A = this chain, B = another copy of it.
């Protein structure tokens, strides 16, 4: 490891602190490191490590590991050992969807320690929806015995194009969503950093973190609902697009003045009304029972989905496509996707189902909150050695 010579002393302290925290987090829980271990792992001097560790203990982020915490006793005076206190703070990952709100609670390591969800009607106003979210979160925190002040960051994912400041630029899936200053509204409730993200983007992050895209850095996640949306990772990083609208492929059919989703999914001459998931599940069920017109409707739906996914694949050339969302749960989506992409894409990607299902969106929101906190606690900036 290199060393810093000179420069801002408070920056130096922060960097050293981050380096030590890194080493503490990387250690196996069964053998918490001693000061000597930390000196070795970080390349810092013993007095520096001692000072940093004392500071981290004062801030609550580090504790002395006791023998009960898996430390094998050796001969002689045992050296003090230290561990990262993942329980020193908490994070929330929140999904706000058309039919439900859901929240995941975790510690500072990202380990999920609680969850809650509540239904909400599709026609609920923005106020009603946010109130339902607040009640759900309050209940979750109460049950987990976590004070609101222990929250270090909250990630929120919802349909729509989200600006960098957390305002919903455009969101037709939820009533009163376009223009809603979602980040600002939620910051009032939480008094900690609130990160707002598009739902498909969050789900892409989630599948990369602990789902079907683990270890794969070029991924398109397709949130297959009535109209598909997508989130993409390029080189392991979320690709939001210039205005946060990347992946909104569901708008493509508008262009050809083609049939509306209501017409596409209708098993009769009349458009489906209302077009909601219950109706669509009924059409898929009819198709499975052999109803000819329902089958044709499902075929039309799948053809359009394949077309939209192919457009994403041709534009981005990902290694893997993960299909999630409501339509992925109905089944029968994967095979036509695989067959058609293999036939028509110049370099067909692998295609997999979401492993996280219903929890993908909230899990991604949680990961965004964790990214934020890790950025604050553990980020080690690289000093610039040349302009």
| A contact set with B: CB distance below 8 Å | 1-7, 15, 18-19, 22, 42, 161, 169-170, 218, 230, 232, 234, 239-249, 251-252, 254-256, 303, 306-307, 310-312, 314-319, 340, 343-347, 349, 380, 382-387
Expressed in whole angstroms, the Cα–Cα distance for A380 and B19 within the complex equals 24
With A242-B218, A346-B161 as given contacts, are A251 and B1 in contact (CB-CB < 8 Å)? no
Q: Chain B contacts of A315 at CB under 8 A?
A: 230, 232, 246-247, 249, 311-312, 315-316
Measured CB to CB, the closest approach of chain B to A6, in angstroms, equals 8
Q: Is the CB of A15 within 8 A of B385?
A: yes
Instruction: From the candidates B22, B242, B310, name the one contacting A255 in the complex (CB within 8 A).
Output: B310
CA gap between A332 and B108 in the complex, in Å: 57
Name A252's contact: one of B232, B254, B310, B387 (CB within 8 Å): B310
A386 with B252, Cβ < 8 A, contacts A169-B347, A246-B315, A315-B316 known: no
Residues of B within 8 A of A232 (CB): 315
The distance from the CB of A336 to the nearest CB of chain B, in whole angstroms, is 11
Query: A241 near B255 (CB under 8 angstroms)?
Result: no
Q: Are A314 and B248 in contact (CB under 8 A)?
A: yes
Contact pick for A380, options B5, B170, B247, B385, CB 8 Å: B385
The smallest beta-carbon distance between A228 and chain B, in angstroms, is 11
Whether A255 contacts B317 by the Cβ 8 Å rule is no
- Work out how many copies of this chain go into the complex: 2
CB distance from A239 to the nearest CB of B (A): 7
- Assuming the contacts A242-B319, A251-B314, A314-B252, asked whether A383 and B2 have C-beta atoms less than 8 A apart, the reply is yes
Contact A246 B386 (CB under 8 A): no
CA distance A246 to B318 in the complex (A): 8
Q: A387: which of B3, B5, B22, B170 is its contact (CB, 8 Å)?
A: B22
Given A5-B3, A247-B315, also A161-B307 (CB < 8 A): no
> For residue A385, which residue of chain B has the nearest CB?
B2
* 20 pairs, A vs B, C-beta closer than 8 Å: A1-B385, A2-B5, A3-B385, A4-B385, A42-B386, A170-B347, A241-B318, A242-B319, A242-B347, A244-B317, A245-B317, A246-B315, A246-B316, A248-B317, A249-B315, A252-B344, A315-B316, A380-B385, A382-B385, A382-B386
Residue numbers in B under 8 Å from A256 (CB-CB):
303, 307
Q: Are A346 and B255 in contact (CB under 8 A)?
A: no
Q: In the complex, what distance in Å separates the CA atom of A246 from the CA atom of B311?
A: 11
Given A247-B314, A249-B314, A315-B246, are A346 and B170 also a contact pair (CB < 8 Å)? yes
A25: min CB distance to chain B, Å: 12
Q: A311 CA to B313 CA in the complex, in Å? A: 10
A230–B340 CA distance with the chains assembled, in angstroms: 22
Contacts of A310 in B (CB 8 A): 251-252, 255
How near does chain B come to A300, taking the closest CB pair, in angstroms?
12
Q: Which residues of chain B are within 8 angstroms of A380 by Cβ–Cβ distance? A: 385-386
Across the interface, which residues of B come within 8 angstroms of A251, CB to CB? 310, 314, 344-346
Q: Which residues of B contact A247 (CB under 8 A)?
A: 314-315, 317
